[in-house]
């Protein structure tokens, strides 16, 4: 059975066993626990928010520590793999981790603190470098920049815009001043379009001098200090070097934590699981001595689970009936070959209980259509070989990624099959190589096992329409199965059989017609009885639809109007059928682009460097082509399932089964022998 039967159960047990039972359920991962539980004024709930927050913060700290280890103590060969695997940990190691978790968290926090200190030291160095940059023009100043003068003198340290010569600057400053005015002008530097100066003047002329300076655009330094600039710069450089040494020391210390990576993996998932458990603890209704749980398990695991909880903890476990408005979780049980397609189905919507699970049928059509769209044996071999090697090398991939790779492995095999059927191996690469480098000018070396679509596209179009019709008929047949399963014989005749009759009759009427002959290049000659039968079949189906589609209406005029509108729905069937022309379009696109790439490669294939240039164009071109057409095949194959196929019978509406278990981000538990 494709959809697993589910059972709702309730658990009542002594409060002293609460944590142990939750640990047991979390380890087993068999039960989906309800958040909306038994409502009763006498029941209370435990406040676990503080503990839960602590565990979540601990998990986040360990996550940060692991991220830092990737930078400062990378694993050997880690950069060679594009796919991260979970670490295989014996259950005994995980269970024994309780006593070590606190100490490891302290070390993880130390690692995070070291990184924080590195950032703080780096920020301080940046600040000091900016200060040095601001003080550098003042290096020749031999007095502190904070100097403002003495009892009889005024000191002005600052800048003027660099748009005047030294003579003009001095002339501007001494304007309206006596020729023998006590003024010392020191031009220190010209940098950054500024003139850096130090002016020493008697206080008797300071007001006039200040006015002249204001008119000339004088500005105090953006960076100042209470020490001589040269001394300050030297001090800052020493501080920077000291911080650099500290940063390197921190990095070395952080690298030494690499040996704790495995323990950090376990601790992070340990605290994450604890946080999940305490989240649930806060939602469990309880009295002073008893607590209650309610949720869903698969029917086959209900009895073993009840027996275990009863014998080990003295719990009372009872089977419950589903509430009328309650939606059971959906668990799919399909053959191994069909499981990779389950995520594709789930992204549209899981089936509800009592409905048909189309996964197995969908798998067949999905793989076939994908292969027809990509339709190149070379591309298919690359896809299957690449995904197959990844699956063999990485056995503990995340489940969603693993299933996606398995799906592409099967689609690669289908692509290889259709590629040989159409005679495509990296387009016409074999013939191109033979003619470019060996002067071969004969017939095609790799001949199609069936026919070549580029030479006979209309033939392929007809076959695509046939495959599409089979696909749509399958969807309608599934709807008929569900209708008969619901004991609705009238509905089966009115909504299913009638459409089979009308559509089949129309197809039989089309085959011997001139329209079909002009498209296919050939026409069928049917005997008179078959021509008459096709008309009777189409007319009978249309009549049933006309009379019975609106059977819920008592008004015959309205019923006939609704029936006529449903007959008009045959245009929707035609639209759906034409959608399968994408099998032709994408298949031709793959082949045409591949041939163009081969032609471009052959154009640069002459001369001493010809083979190298040929290989470069060939590899780059086909890499781009396979990438684009892989995406196109994936998108359009999904569309044929979602829009054309599912519209005939499927509406989803189910929800996924989410059992209470440990959330492992980094590890995978290996059961002890």
Token pair listed for 282: 């806060």
Given a cut of 80, whether residue 54 has pLDDT beyond it is yes
6 beta partners: 298
Closest among 473, 577, 465, 441 to 520, alpha carbons compared: 465
Q: Is 198 exposed, middle or buried (0-12, 13-18, 19+ CB in 10 A)?
A: buried
Domain layout of the chain by residue ranges:
146-220, 339-648
pLDDT at 281: 85
What's the mean pLDDT when you consider all of the chain?
Answer: 91
What are phi and psi for residue 589, nearest 5 degrees? Answer: -60, -45
Model confidence at 611, pLDDT cuts 50, 70, 90, reads very high
Strands, E assignment, 193-315: 194-202, 290-298
Given a cut of 50, whether residue 320 has pLDDT beyond it is yes
The CA distance from 639 to 646, in Å, is 10
Closest among 298, 326, 391, 276 to 661, alpha carbons compared: 276
Token pair listed for 71: 């930078």
Q: What is the pLDDT of residues 553-606, one digit of tens each?
A: 778 888 888 888 889 889 999 999 999 999 999 999 999 999 999 999 999 988
Transcribe 66-120 into DSSP letters: HHHHHHHSPPTTGGG-SS--PEEEEHHHHHGGGGTHHHHHHHHHHHHHHHHHHHH
Residue 456 gets the label, from left (phi > 0), alpha (psi -120 to 50) or beta, of beta
pLDDT at 663: 80
Q: Is 194 helix (H, G, I), strand (E, B) or coil?
A: strand
pLDDT at 503: 95
- CATH number for region 146-220: 3.30.70.2750
Q: What is the pLDDT of residues 355-373, one digit of tens each?
A: 999 999 999 999 999 999 9
pLDDT at 80: 46
Given a cut of 60, whether residue 1 has pLDDT beyond it is no
Q: What is the pLDDT of residues 250-299, one digit of tens each?
A: 999 999 999 999 999 999 999 999 999 888 888 888 888 899 999 999 99
Please report, rounded to a whole number, the percentage of residues in the chain having pLDDT higher than 70. 97
Top-confidence residue, 214 or 368: 368
Q: Residues 161, 217: contact at Cβ < 8 Å?
A: yes
Given a cut of 90, whether residue 412 has pLDDT beyond it is yes
Which DSSP state fits 6?
E
Transcribe 439-479 into DSSP letters: ---SS-SS--SS--TTT-HHHHHHHHHHHHHHHHHHHHHHH
pLDDT at 298: 95
Closest among 369, 352, 296 to 657, alpha carbons compared: 296
Q: Which whole number is the average pLDDT over 638-657? A: 94
The CA distance from 251 to 259, in Å, is 15
The CA distance from 666 to 673, in Å, is 22
Q: What is the pLDDT of residues 424-480, one digit of tens each?
A: 999 999 999 999 888 888 888 899 999 999 999 999 999 999 999 999 999 999 999
**Which long-range contacts link 124-131 to residues 24+ away (Cβ below 8 Å)?**
124/239, 124/243, 125/240, 125/243, 125/244, 128/236, 128/239, 128/240, 129/240, 130/223, 131/223, 131/225, 131/232, 131/236
Token pair listed for 540: 């009978």
Say which range, 73-87, 279-293, 346-360, has the weakest mean pLDDT: 73-87
The CA distance from 673 to 668, in Å, is 16
Apex 376 CA angle, 375 and 380, nearest 5: 100
Residue 2 gets the label, from left (phi > 0), alpha (psi -120 to 50) or beta, of alpha
183 beta partners: 201
């Amino acid at each position: 059975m494709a959809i697993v039967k589910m059972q709702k159960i309730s658990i009542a047990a002594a409060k002293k066993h609460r944590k142990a039972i939750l640990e047991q359920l979390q380890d087993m991962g068999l039960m989906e626990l309800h958040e909306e539980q038994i409502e009763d004024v006498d029941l209370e709930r435990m406040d676990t928010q503080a503990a839960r927050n602590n565990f979540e913060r601990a998990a986040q700290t360990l996550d940060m520590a692991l991220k830092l280890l990737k930078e400062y103590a990378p694993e050997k060969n880690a950069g060679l793999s594009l796919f991260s695997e979970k670490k295989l940990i014996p259950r005994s190691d995980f269970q024994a981790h309780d006593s070590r978790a606190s100490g490891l968290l302290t070390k993880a926090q130390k690692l995070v603190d070291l990184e924080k200190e590195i950032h703080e030291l780096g920020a301080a160095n940046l600040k000091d470098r900016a200060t040095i940059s601001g003080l550098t023009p003042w290096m020749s100043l031999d007095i502190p920049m904070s100097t403002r003068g003495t009892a009889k003198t005024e000191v002005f340290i600052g800048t003027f815009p660099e748009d005047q010569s030294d003579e003009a600057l001095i002339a501007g400053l001494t304007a309206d001043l006596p020729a023998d005015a006590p003024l010392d002008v020191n031009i220190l530097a010209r940098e950054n379009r500024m003139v850096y100066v130090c002016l020493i003047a008697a206080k008797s002329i300071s007001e006039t001098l200040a006015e002249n300076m204001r008119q000339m655009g004088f500005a105090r330094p953006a960076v100042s200090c209470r020490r001589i600039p040269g001394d300050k710069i030297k001090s800052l450089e020493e501080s920077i070097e000291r911080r650099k040494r500290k940063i390197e020391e921190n990095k070395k210390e952080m690298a030494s934590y690499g040996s704790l990576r495995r323990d950090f993996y376990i601790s992070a998932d340990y605290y994450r699981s604890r946080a999940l458990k305490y989240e649930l603890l806060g939602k469990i209704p309880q009295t002073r001595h008893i607590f209650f749980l309610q949720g869903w398990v698969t029917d086959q695991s209900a009895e073993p689970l009840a027996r275990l909880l009863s014998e080990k903890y003295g719990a009372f476990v009872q089977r419950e009936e589903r509430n009328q408005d309650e939606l059971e979780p959906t668990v799919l049980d399909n053959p191994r070959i069909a499981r990779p397609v389950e995520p594709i189905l789930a992204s549209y919507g899981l089936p509800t209980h009592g409905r048909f699970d189309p996964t197995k049928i969908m798998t067949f059509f999905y793989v076939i259509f994908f292969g027809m769209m990509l339709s190149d044996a070379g591309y298919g071999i690359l896809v299957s070989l690449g995904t197959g090697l990844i699956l063999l090398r990485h056995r503990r991939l995340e489940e969603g990624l693993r299933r996606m790779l398995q799906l592409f492995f099967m689609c690669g095999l289908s692509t290889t099959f259709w590629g040989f059927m159409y005679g495509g191996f990296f387009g016409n690469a074999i013939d191109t190589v033979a003619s470019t480098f060996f002067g071969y000018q004969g017939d095609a070396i790799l001949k199609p096992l069936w026919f070549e679509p580029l030479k006979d596209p209309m033939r392929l179009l007809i076959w695509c329409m046939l495959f599409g019709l089979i696909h749509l008929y399958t969807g309608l047949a599934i709807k008929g199965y569900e209708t008969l399963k619901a004991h609705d014989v009238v509905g089966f005749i009115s909504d299913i059989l009638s459409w089979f009759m009308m559509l089949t009759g129309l197809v039989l009427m089309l085959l011997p017609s001139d329209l079909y002959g002009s498209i296919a290049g050939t026409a069928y000659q049917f005997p008179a009885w078959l021509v008459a039968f096709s008309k009777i079949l189409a007319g009978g189906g249309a009549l049933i639809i006309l009379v019975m589609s609106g059977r819920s209406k008592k008004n015959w005029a309205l019923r006939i109007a609704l029936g006529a509108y449903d007959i008009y729905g045959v245009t929707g069937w035609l639209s759906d059928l034409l959608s399968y022309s994408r099998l032709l379009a994408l298949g031709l696109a793959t082949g045409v682009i591949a041939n163009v790439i081969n032609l471009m490669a052959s154009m640069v294939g002459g001369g001493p460097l010809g083979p190298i240039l040929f290989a470069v164009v060939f590899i780059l071109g086909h890499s781009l082509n396979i990438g684009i057409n892989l995406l196109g095949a994936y998108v359009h194959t999904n569309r044929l399932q979602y829009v054309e196929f599912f519209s005939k019978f499927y509406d989803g509406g189910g929800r996924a089964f989410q059992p209470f278990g440990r959330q492992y981000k980094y590890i995978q538990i290996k059961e002890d022998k």
